[in-house]
Amino acid sequence: MERNIRFLIAYDGTDFHGWQKQPEMRTVQDVVEQAARRVIRHQVGLNAAGRTDAGVHAAGQQANFETTCEIPLINLQRAIGSRLPKDVSLLHVSEVPLGFRCSHDAVSKLYRYRIYNSARRPVQEHLQRYSYHFWNDLDTTRMQEAANRLVGTHDFAGFASKGSERETTVRTILRADVFRRYDEVFVDVEGTGFLYNQVRNIVGTLLEIGRGHWPPKRIDEILAARDRGLAGPTAPARGLCLQWVQYDLQRPPGWKGLGGKPAPDKTDAAEQP
């Protein structure tokens, strides 16, 4: 009997060349597929919720594949998980309806960007692999005021890096939160889908606003002009983490993505926030 298996995966992206399998490169997709193939005994092609870029981490990446393998889920998790390298963890294995795809059927995703905001280096707390060290003082109130202007459905061309194909640059941001914990500043962005480097470009812009270079209304100007040159620099990959992906498995059969119509694969090059 054919089954559709879904993985919940966490990984440290530092030593990976991103999620997507590439020739002669160490990628997360490749090492997970290799481990699964050794257990299931056939080729595995994972369909992931998002193609995280090189150096980007994940606490809740999800990916699925179809198989006729009859191994119980708990045994699959143990057998495959034990064959993964130390910087990848298989957190959970579940069975989902046939036709479900982690890319198309995602309702929303949350990316978190971590900033170490101190004159001290983050190495003392062993955070240098997972946060961006930004030593200038940041005003999180200004950053939050700017982030509020991102919420809603907008044309985010001004926050998209070149080098990816997309049918439209219109995306929906459900929430954007900026908050501080001691020496760390976090930027949480939840949306229904993202453009290439969109979150990292948003963070780079918020940093310029937080340090006092630009007013919060700069966000409105970037959105209106659709000009990437008006936005801030692309924040480094190491501070970004895919926290979770949300699904609605009660959708009727044949539903394909947001809007109830066939959608382009959310794992294409445009989805590398």
State pLDDT tens for residues 32-54.
999 999 999 999 999 999 999 99
Structure confidence at residue 260 (pLDDT): 35
Place of tokens 């699904």: 247
Residue 1 pLDDT level (bands cut at 50, 70, 90): confident
Residue 250 pLDDT level (bands cut at 50, 70, 90): low
Percent of the chain whose pLDDT exceeds 70 = 90
State pLDDT tens for residues 106-120.
999 999 999 999 999
Contacting residues for 162 by C-beta, under 8 A, at least 6 apart: 196, 228
Dig out the tokens for 37 from the structure.
């193939």
Give this prediction's pTM.
Answer: 0.90
Structure confidence at residue 199 (pLDDT): 97
Percent of the chain whose pLDDT exceeds 90 = 87
Grouping H, G, I as helix, E, B as strand and the rest as coil, residue 36 is helix
Structure confidence at residue 166 (pLDDT): 75
Ranking 11-20, 39-48, 181-190, 257-266 by mean pLDDT, the lowest is 257-266
Grouping H, G, I as helix, E, B as strand and the rest as coil, residue 200 is helix
| Rounded mean pLDDT, 54-68 | 97
Dig out the tokens for 158 from the structure.
């001004």
State pLDDT tens for residues 219-244.
999 999 999 999 999 999 999 999 99
Q: Which residues are catalytic?
A: 53
User: Which residues, listed in sequence order, are joined to residue 188 by a DSSP beta bridge?
Assistant: 112, 177
Domains and CATH numbers, the chain: 3-104 (3.30.70.580), 107-243 (3.30.70.660)
Dig out the tokens for 271 from the structure.
């989805």
Pairing of strands 57-67, 240-247: parallel
pLDDT for 257 beyond 90: no
Dig out the tokens for 130 from the structure.
């997972």
Dig out the tokens for 228 from the structure.
């990437």
Grouping H, G, I as helix, E, B as strand and the rest as coil, residue 143 is helix
CA 81 to chain centre: 22
Grouping H, G, I as helix, E, B as strand and the rest as coil, residue 229 is helix
pLDDT for 133 beyond 70: yes
pLDDT, the chain, mean: 91
